[in-house]
Amino acid sequence: QVQLVESGGGSVQAGGSLRLSCAAFGYTYNTYYMGWFRQAPGKEREGVAAVDSGGGRTNYADSVKGRFTISHDNAKNTLYLQMNSLKPEDTAKYYCATAFRYRIPPPLRRQEYTYWGQGTQVTVSS
C-alpha cells in the first residue's frame, strides 16, 4: 500500500525559507516521478515542482522558478522541497504525489498523478 507523508510546513514571514519533506512507503518501483502541488482556499490544486526517479530531471512552475528546489533522496525514499524567498502568495496546503510511470519532463498536471499525501500547511505573512 503506497503511503506518502508530508512534513515541514509552518508559518514564516515573507522572505523566509522552509523545507518540506515527503516520506514514501509501500513500493519498490524503480521508475516513477514525484511532484509537489499546492492548493490555496478557493483555488484549484496546482503543480509546483516535479522530479523523476533518477533525480536528474526537474520541472518547475514559472511562479516558483529560482526560489524553490525539488530533490529526491533515493536511499531514504524521501522527496524534498526547499522553498526560499517565500511570498504571501505561496500560502497554501502543499501535497506530494507520485505515479509509477515515466515522463519527460516529469509532469505538473495533477491528472498525471496517482497517489497523494494528506498535505502540510504553509503560511507566509507579509
State the pLDDT confidence band at 44, using cuts at 50, 70 and 90: very high
The span from the CA of 33 to the CA of 79, in Å, is: 10
Contact of 33 with 109, CB cutoff 8 Å = no
CA 7 to chain CA centroid, Å, is 11
State the pLDDT confidence band at 12, using cuts at 50, 70 and 90: very high
At 69, the amino acid letter reads T
- pLDDT exceeds 90 at position 27: no
Backbone dihedral angles phi then psi of residue 110, each to the nearest 5 degrees? -65, -25
pLDDT of amino acid 90: 98
Q: Which residues pair with 37 in a beta bridge?
A: 47, 95
- pLDDT exceeds 80 at position 30: no
Averaged pLDDT of the chain: 95
- pLDDT exceeds 90 at position 91: yes
